[in-house]
A and B are shown apart, each in its own frame.
Chain A
Amino acid sequence: MDFITSFSLQNIKRRPGRTIAVLLFSVLFATAIFGGTLLTGSMQQGLRVLNSRLGADIVVVPVAAKTKFNVNSVLLQGTPGYFYMERKVLDDVAGIEGVEKVSPQLFLASMTADCCSASLQIVGFDPRSDFAIQPWIRETYGGLLGDGDIVAGSNVRFTDTRMLKFYDVNCKVAAQLAKTGSALDNAIYANEDTVKRLIAASQKRGMNQYNSFDPADATSTVLVKVKDGYDIEKVTGEINLHVRKVKAVAAKNLISDVAAGLSGLSDMIGICIGVIWILCVLIMMIVFTMLMNERKREFAVLRVLGTSRSMLSRMVVSEAVLINLAGGIVGIALASMFVMLFNTAIGNLLKVPFLMPPVSTILLLAGATLLISVLAGGIISALSAKRISNMDTSLILREGE
């Protein structure tokens, strides 16, 4: 180890009060940058994944559902809920010009009661026409879902037996999906026949508010894929115009409500990070200037003993870099721990899709944070060192005598 590094380490070790003061600001700095960016990044990642998982251009729901339910809360926020319309809507929508594919989805909400393992949103899809759920399922499960088989969202808990009970019908968990950070993680997915059985079971027990409906003739939503070259908004308008008792909504508009909230939140967090950044830099500058003033005499003595200006600068910068490196690592670790431990709670609290970015992105962000912390400390201390180097050593030594 060279002299300057060992001298800096000695200064850091033997002046704990001074070191802790600088370290605290450095930790705060890194925590703010890394934690804040990770938070906004996770929200954006959550929205991206939610968008891709929704998989449709247009979602068609019964017009009654639009008035009775907050469809967003069922479709995007995972509040267990269900609504039905006649299945012939499927053909009506398929007949609209510009519609490429249609696929039904059948909803059911299980209950917090003896008959059910948990209160969950149950989504049934038609394996032949589905283009939204199955590509996602195939990422974790390659087999075909048989009757009674279900696929669980990543937040759904089950025992080693992999069995869940809904309205006293036992279902086998065939696979568990990857996390999306959204309400989709709280749902279970099955083929339509399984869900029809569950609906019939719920009706039999008088636990379904649509008791008169024949599940075989029902669908909750129709997912629509629009042909290339057609305007989604126009096709949506055509559906609303020509198909009775339904409300078609462009998926991007569903998402945009969430996105708008997310954008506001991201902006707010961005502003907070910016303010914390500026405050941290200002405080660091003040702290470093105070420290340098306190150490002026020490630096003057070093000059007397033959330390050149460049050596003195390297000593000061090396000390700042070492402290900021340590502070950066601690700050990143603290922010990571906080976001990783509480990511579900944060998502629930903010009511936005919240999904941690991939590990490679997190590592890149950690590296950038570390670099920024070290550079900020290094630059501020280099400026202070330059100022000290230009001071009159003899006058400093006479000060305070």
Chain B
Amino acid sequence: MKLLADNISKSFARAGSQQKLFSAVQEASLLLEAGRLVAVKGRSGSGKSTLLNMLGGLLKPDAGHVFFDKTELYTLDDVALSRLRNQKIGIIPQGHTALRSLTVLENVILPVRLYEPEKDVDNRALALLQEVGIAELARANPAELSGGELRRMAVARALIQNPPVLLADEPTGDLDDENTELVLHLLRKAADAGTAVLLVTHESAAEPYADEVYTMNAGKLQFVS
């Protein structure tokens, strides 16, 4: 399995600026392969999240293509693209993304329920929660969890479908050192298990866990190591 960004660009209209278009990503190419963890570093606003969203099928590039194996993502209609994202691409979005009307366990199971409501994945979800260290909070309401615990819940949720691709957007933002290490360790473990992992971060702590490191600066992606 591979996820390939081929010369993708994205610009946004910027209100109140003389320069009408803001170029968030410029002709970026990136290959994600099974078993490898790619880290993209950069300051806030450098275009990292825009790149990740284009790779995740959430944001159509203005130019260039995104391929999931041989399928060009943005030729799919919304239903097919959503289904592919649900089953093949696990995404850990920025910030706290638990649904407050569901328990922690229900949040983790939610991606499965969307298309296979009858499928029993409770044991797998509990095992994942065990793996990320919050099994005892399975029946808790997300409001009772700390920021680090919520981020770990998001990791478990992204892994519930056992996706071949995992995209993590600032998964360690505002976490303490201990939780940062824990989350990075989980992502590395997923890569070692055969998942293609993209880690977008502004922190240097991720570098030791990555197979490849890129930087993003003003929309331009550069290979570092």
Chain A contacts to B: CB under 8 angstroms: 2-3, 6-7, 10-11, 13-15, 297-298, 300-311, 392-394, 397-398, 400-401
CB distance from B13 to the nearest CB of A (A): 11
- Bound CA–CA A302/B86 (angstroms): 10
B97–A306 touching, CB < 8 Å: no
The verdict on A308 contacting B82 (CB below 8 Å), with A10-B102, A11-B101, A394-B53 known, is: yes
Among A13, A301, A311, A398, which residue has its beta carbon within 8 angstroms of that of B49?
A398
Q: Which residues of B contact A306 (CB under 8 A)?
A: 82-87, 111, 114-115
CB distance from A251 to the nearest CB of B (A): 64
A3–B114 touching, CB < 8 Å: yes
Q: Which residues of B contact A11 (CB under 8 A)?
A: 101
Q: Which residues of A contact B79 (CB under 8 A)?
A: 308, 310
Q: What are 6 A-B pairs with beta-carbon distances under 8 A? A: A305-B114, A306-B85, A394-B50, A394-B58, A397-B94, A397-B169
Not counting A298-B100, A306-B82, A308-B78, a sample of 18 additional A-B residue pairs whose C-beta atoms are within 8 angstroms of each other reads: A10-B106, A14-B100, A15-B101, A298-B99, A300-B93, A301-B97, A301-B99, A303-B82, A304-B58, A305-B85, A307-B114, A308-B82, A308-B83, A310-B78, A311-B82, A311-B114, A393-B58, A394-B53
- Bound CA–CA A123/B4 (angstroms): 96
A304–B56 touching, CB < 8 Å: yes
The verdict on A393 contacting B53 (CB below 8 Å), with A301-B99, A305-B86 known, is: yes
User: Total A-B pairs in contact (CB under 8 Å)?
Assistant: 81
- In the A-B complex, the 7 residue pairs with the smallest Cβ-Cβ separation, listed nearest first, are A306-B86, A394-B53, A308-B82, A3-B117, A14-B101, A301-B97, A11-B101
B101–A10 touching, CB < 8 Å: yes
Chain B residue nearest in CB terms to A399? B95
Q: Give chain B interface residues in 41-94, CB to chain A under 8 Å.
A: 49-50, 53, 56, 58-59, 78-79, 82-87, 91, 93-94
Q: Give chain B interface residues in 118-159, CB to chain A under 8 Å.
A: 157
B97–A297 touching, CB < 8 Å: yes
- Bound CA–CA A280/B110 (angstroms): 35
| B185 on interface, CB distance cutoff 8 Å | no
B93–A397 touching, CB < 8 Å: yes
Q: Which residues of A contact B97 (CB under 8 A)?
A: 297, 301, 304, 397
CB distance from B201 to the nearest CB of A (A): 14
CB distance from B159 to the nearest CB of A (A): 12
| B189 on interface, CB distance cutoff 8 Å | no
